[in-house]
Amino acid sequence: MVARSSSSGARYDDVRSFLDAVAAEYEALPKQLRAVAKHIETNRARMVVTRITDVAAACAVQPSAVTRFAQRFGFSGYSELQALFRKAFSDHAAPGANYAERIRAKLASGELQADPGGVMRQLLLANQGAIEECALHLDDRALERAVKLLHDAEHVYVAGVRRALPAAAYLAYLLQHTSKRVELVSGLGGMFAGQIRAIRKSDLLVAISFAPYGKETRFCVRVAEARRARILALTDSAMSPIARAATAHLLVKEASAFSFRSLTNTMCLCQGLFISLASRLELDLATAPEHATMED
C-alpha cells in the first residue's frame, strides 16, 4: 500500500493500492464493512457512477456503514473515496458507459436475443469490453511474481473445478510443454486428497477459482498451505479465500452475458503465463554450462 495523508483524508497512488490496503485488512473488518469491501472490489468499474445508497442496498447495510468503510481507510467520506475511482477511470469512463448503455438498450429491445447471431454478437461484444478492461488494469508486478513462482517450482499442481476446470486443464496442458513436472488435480473419482497429498515446500499449487469458490479447490489450497508449498491464485477478488492464502495472486475480471460468465481473460492469462515461462526457461537453457561454447 502506498498512501499519503492530507487535510482531506488518505490519498492512494491509485485504485490498486487502495484495494491492496483493503485486502490486507479484510479479515479484521466487521461483517458489514467486509460486505462493502467485497462489493467495491467486485464492481470497481462502476464505482464512478455508483451512489452511496446503491452500494448500501447491494450490501444490505445502511449508508452509514459505507461511510464508516470509507473513513476506516482514511477518506473523509464516500464522495472522497469515489473521487479516487473517478480519477483513475476518467479517461475511460465514457466509452465504458456508452458500451453499457448500448447493451442495455439492445437487451431491452430484444434485438440481440432475436437470433443465434444476435446472441453470439452480444457475447463477443461483452468479451471485447472485458478484454479491454483487463489490458487497462494489468498488474505487471503480479505477473512477474507469478512467472517466477512457476519458474522456481520443482513440481506444479494445477487445481480448478466446475467453471474453472477448462482453464485449469488448459494451463496444465500448456505447462506440460516445458520440462516442469505438472499434475492436473482433477479429482477424478473423488481423489482430490490423493492427488494433492504429495505436494511439498519446493512445489507450487496454481489454484483457479471464482465466486462462489469451489470447496475442492479451497481444500487443495489448505493442504498446500499446511505443507508450506507456494500458492498462485487466479481468482476474481483479492478478498477471495484462495487469494488470502496465496503467495501471489492474479485477479481476473470476466464478461457476463445472459447470466453466463466467460473464461476469455482467464484463458489469455494462462497463455501469457506459459509463454513468459517458456521464454525464461529457454533463456536458462541457452546459458547453461552444457550449452556453453569455447568462445564463452
Q: Give the model's pLDDT for residue 293.
A: 45
Write down the mean pLDDT value for the chain.
Answer: 79
DSSP string, 145-191: HHHHHHHH-SEEEEE--GGGHHHHHHHHHHHTTSSSEEEEE--GGG-
Beta bridge partners of 231: 205
Q: Is 212 exposed, middle or buried (0-12, 13-18, 19+ CB in 10 A)?
A: exposed
pTM equals 0.63
3-class SS at 4? strand
Percent of the chain exceeding pLDDT 90 equals 23
Residue 94: what pLDDT? 40
Q: Is the pLDDT of residue 231 over 50?
A: yes
**Average pLDDT over every residue of 188-213:** 87
Confidence of residue 240 (pLDDT cuts 50, 70, 90): confident
Handedness of CA 167, 183, 151, 283 (dihedral sign): negative
Looking at residues 244-250, what average pLDDT do you find?
Answer: 87
Distance from chain centroid for Cα 3: 23
In sequence order, what DSSP letters do the residues of 236-247 get, joined into one string?
A: S-TTSHHHHH-S
pLDDT at residue 106, rounded to an integer: 56
Question: For 20-26, what is the mean pLDDT?
Answer: 87
pLDDT at 44 over 50: yes
CA–CA separation, 122 and 124 (whole Å): 5
The answer to whether the beta carbons of residues 33 and 22 sit under 8 Å apart is no
Least confident stretch, 65-74, 161-170, 251-260, 272-281: 251-260
218 close to 187: Cβ distance less than 8 angstroms = no
Least confident of 82-91, 137-146, 230-239: 82-91
> What per-residue string of b and e applies to 35-65 under the rule 16 or more CB within 10 Å gives b?
bbbbbbbeebbbbbebebeebbebbebeeeb
Q: Of the spans 9-18, 127-136, 172-181, which averages the highest pLDDT?
A: 172-181
pLDDT, tens digit, 9 for 90 and up, residues 146-163: 999 999 998 999 998 888
Count of helix runs (H) and strand runs (E) in the chain: 13, 9
Between CA 2 and CA 6 the distance in angstroms is: 14
The phi and psi torsions of 290 (rounded to 5 degrees) equal -70, -15
Taking only the tens place, the pLDDT of each residue in 99-144 is: 555 556 555 555 555 567 767 777 777 777 777 777 777 888 888 9
Q: Give yes or no for residue 2 having a pLDDT over 80.
A: no
